[in-house]
Chain A
Amino acid sequence: EAGVAQSPRYKIIEKRQSVAFWCNPISGHATLYWYQQILGQGPKLLIQFQNNGVVDDSQLPKDRFSAERLKGVDSTLKIQPAKLEDSAVYLCASSLDAQETQYFGPGTRLLVL
């Protein structure tokens, strides 16, 4: 069974630029999560989707971050404009349903200069 796929794996941008990350969850998984993991910290949930609807985006900085999950499968997370403090690993996870185990992708490492 293929795991959660993410791209790109690495991205370097300058502050005030925009960037987008892509996630393809495990086939059939209805729930999708985006996490931000800053160096030295544990992952922090940014947004949770159930199919193509948002369940929880309470910790998403909505002035600069946006996410969508069209057709309830793939998802993109966008940052516009990026700040230095956005440097982190962005992890995508999926689960069969909201009450099932989360499976994580390898993450996208973002460096904002």
Chain B
Amino acid sequence: AQSVTQPDIHITVSEGASLELRCNYSYGATPYLFWYVQSPGQGLQLLLKYFSGDTLVQGIKGFEAEFKRSQSSFNLRKPSVHWSDAAEYFCAVGTGFQKLVFGTGTRLLVSP
């Protein structure tokens, strides 16, 4: 069965600094991988997804993620964080676009 590990529960980044959120997955076949963001009181919003092709995927709001099969990782990055990026970020792996298994999330705090 597939699983996702997000090792960082909380991360604090200064505004304007770069960001990397870690995600490791376990899945027997080629995975479908997703990053979602959840702001307080809001539903999850899809940032980006990967299922084939170029291993570096671009998403909304300036985010990108890189699929590394050898490391079973799909880390999320942003070169310069804005205060509005403070939220909880979830990595998910799926059998296609359905049957998503989510990680426990990483809460991003942005300091001035």
A and B from one complex: yes
* Chain B contact residue count (CB 8 A cutoff): 21
Establish whether residues A106 and B41, one from each chain, have CB atoms under 8 Å apart when the complex forms: yes
Query: Which chain A residue shows the least CB distance to B46?
Result: A101
Query: B96 contacts which of A4, A45, A98 (Cβ < 8 Å)?
Result: A98
Q: Give the contacts of B92-106 with A (CB-CB under 8 A).
A: 92, 96-105
**Extra contacts besides A42-B103, A106-B41 (19): CB < 8 Å:** A3-B43, A33-B98, A40-B104, A40-B105, A42-B90, A42-B101, A43-B90, A43-B102, A45-B99, A55-B98, A56-B98, A91-B43, A93-B44, A98-B98, A101-B46, A101-B49, A101-B97, A104-B44, A107-B43
Q: A41-B104, A42-B92 are in contact. Are A4 and B98 (CB under 8 A)?
A: no
Decide if A42 touches B104 in the complex (CB within 8 Å): yes
A interface residue count range (under 10 / 10 to 19 / 20 to 34 / 35 or more): 20 to 34
Given the complex, which residues of A lie within 8 Å of B92, measured CB to CB? 42
Q: What does DSSP make chain B's interface, helix, strand, loop or mixed?
A: strand
Q: Are A42 and B98 in contact (CB under 8 A)?
A: no
CB proximity to A under 8 Å, residues B1-51: 4, 36, 41-46, 49
Bound-complex Cα distance A33 to B104 (A): 19
Task: For residue B49, give the distance in angstroms from its CB to the closest CB of chain A.
Answer: 7
Given contacts A42-B103, A44-B102, contact A99 B97 (CB under 8 A): yes
Chain B residues within an 8 Å CB radius of A24: none
Contacts of B103 in A (CB 8 A): 42
A31 cross-chain contacts in B, Cβ below 8 A: 98
Closest Cβ–Cβ distance, residue B31 to chain A (whole Å): 15
Question: Which residue of chain A lies nearest to B102 when distances are taken between CB atoms in the complex?
Answer: A42
Find out whether the CB atom of A42 lies under 8 angstroms from the CB atom of B43: no
Contact A102 B104 (CB under 8 A): no
**Nearest 8 A/B pairs, CB to CB:** A42-B102, A104-B43, A104-B44, A106-B43, A105-B43, A98-B98, A43-B102, A99-B97
A10, chain B: closest CB distance, angstroms: 10
